[in-house]
Amino acid sequence: MDPFGASEGNLMEFYHLKTLEPHTSWKNDSSVHINLEKWQDASPDADNSYDILKDLLNQQQRTYEKEAAQNMNEAAMSNVADPLNNNMMLPLLNRLQIPQKDKLKYLVNTKKFNVKMFLKDIHNRDSFEDLTRSLDTLDKTLERQSDELKDLVQTNFTKYVRVKNRLDQIYEQFSMRYTPSLAPGSIDANGGQLDVNELGDKVDDAIRATTLKLKPLLETNRKMVNYQATKNFIEENRDYFNLTTKLKRCLDKKDYSNLVLEYAKAKELHNQLILAAAVAEENEMGQVVNRVPKVVDKVWSEVEVVMESYRQLTWKTLLCADNEESQHDFLPLISKLLDLNVDKNPIMAWLTVHLDNFEKQLQETSEQMFNKILKGQQNILHNKAEADSDDHNTASIQGVDLTYYLSIGQFFQDTDGKSNDELAFRSLTAFQGLTDSPIVVEMWLLFLRYINSLEKIAMKFVEFWEHVQNFLDGVYQTTLINDKKKDNILVGDLKTIDGHKQFLQLEKEQVRHLRHRGEHFVNTLANQLTLFFMSSQESLSQRATITKENGSPQDYGFIPPRANGLSCLRYLPKMVEPLLKSITKLAQLGISPRALEISKKLVSMITDRSVAAIASTKLRDTSNFYKLEDWKVYQTVHDTNRSELEYGITHFPEIVRIFQEYSIQTTRDLLFAFEKLPVLNGISIVNYPSKRSLTAVEIQQLISMEAVLESILKNAAKDKDNPRNSHTILTLTNLQYIRETTFPQILQYFDEAFEWNLREKKLELFSLLAKMESSIFGNYLSDLKINIRDVLEKKYHEISWATYTSNSFRANDYVIEVLMLLVTIHSECFRIGPQLIERVLRETQIFISKYLFESFKPFVGNLSSDGLLQVTVDLQFFQRVLGRLLERDTQVTITACLQNCFQNNTERMQRCIKETEPIVSSNLARTSVQFAAFK
pLDDT value of position 4: 57
Mean pLDDT of the 39-48 span = 65
- Which segment, 19-23, 39-43, 324-328, 626-630, is predicted with the most confidence on average? 626-630
Nearest to 829 by CA among 728, 721, 741: 728
pLDDT tens per residue, range 645-702: 788 888 899 999 999 999 999 999 998 888 887 777 777 788 888 888 889 999 999 9
pLDDT tens per residue, range 392-408: 456 777 788 888 888 88
pLDDT value of position 835: 78
Mean pLDDT of the 8-28 span = 61
Residue 886 has pLDDT above 50, yes or no: yes
Question: Domains of the chain: which residue ranges?
Answer: 72-125, 128-236, 254-283+290-340, 367-464+508-759, 799-934
Spatial separation of the C-alpha atoms in residues 847 and 855, rounded to whole Å: 12
458 and 583 in contact (C-beta within 8 Å)?
yes
Mean pLDDT of the 501-506 span = 71
Interhelix angle 593-623/508-533, rounded to 10 degrees, is 10
pLDDT tens per residue, range 766-795: 889 889 888 888 888 888 888 888 888 888
Residue 648 neighbours by CB under 8 Å, 6+ apart: 633, 634, 635, 636, 637, 730, 733, 831, 832, 833
pLDDT value of position 188: 46
Spatial separation of the C-alpha atoms in residues 403 and 395, rounded to whole Å: 6
Spatial separation of the C-alpha atoms in residues 556 and 615, rounded to whole Å: 11
* Residue 862 CA, distance from chain mean position: 99
Spatial separation of the C-alpha atoms in residues 269 and 237, rounded to whole Å: 9
Spatial separation of the C-alpha atoms in residues 706 and 659, rounded to whole Å: 14
Burial of 871 (0-12, 13-18, 19+ CB in 10 A): buried
pLDDT value of position 234: 75
H-type alpha helices, 797-836: 813-832
Q: Per-residue confidence at 388, pLDDT binned at 50, 70, 90? A: very low
Question: How does the average pLDDT of the chain come out, rounded?
Answer: 79
203 sits in the region (left: phi over 0; alpha: psi -120 to 50; else beta) called alpha
H-type alpha helices, 196-293: 196-236, 238-241, 243-252, 256-277
Running DSSP on this structure, what letter comes out for residue 680?
A: B
Q: Per-residue confidence at 19, pLDDT binned at 50, 70, 90? A: low
Spatial separation of the C-alpha atoms in residues 288 and 395, rounded to whole Å: 101
The single-letter code of the amino acid at 903 is: Q
Residue 637 neighbours by CB under 8 Å, 6+ apart: 646, 647, 648, 649, 737, 741
- Which segment, 221-235, 450-464, 533-547, 874-888, is predicted with the most confidence on average? 450-464
In percent, the amount of the chain with pLDDT more than 70 equals 77
Residue 391 has pLDDT above 80, yes or no: no
Residue 238 has pLDDT above 70, yes or no: yes
pLDDT tens per residue, range 840-849: 888 888 998 8
Residue 837 has pLDDT above 80, yes or no: no
pLDDT value of position 135: 79
pLDDT value of position 802: 83
Mean pLDDT of the 342-362 span = 86
Spatial separation of the C-alpha atoms in residues 533 and 583, rounded to whole Å: 15
Nearest-Å Rg of the Cα atoms of the chain is 60
Residue 18 has pLDDT above 70, yes or no: no
Mean pLDDT of the 570-598 span = 91
| Residues listed for the chain | 935
Spatial separation of the C-alpha atoms in residues 760 and 292, rounded to whole Å: 99
- Which segment, 539-543, 718-722, 744-748, 763-767, is predicted with the most confidence on average? 744-748
pLDDT value of position 385: 46
Q: How many CB atoms lie within 10 A of CB 509?
A: 8
The single-letter code of the amino acid at 698 is: E
- Among the listed ranges 208-222, 473-487, 860-874, 902-916, which one has the minimum average pLDDT value? 208-222
Residue 464 neighbours by CB under 8 Å, 6+ apart: 323, 354, 358
Q: Would you call 758 helix, strand, or coil by DSSP?
A: helix
Higher per-residue pLDDT: 54 or 768? 768
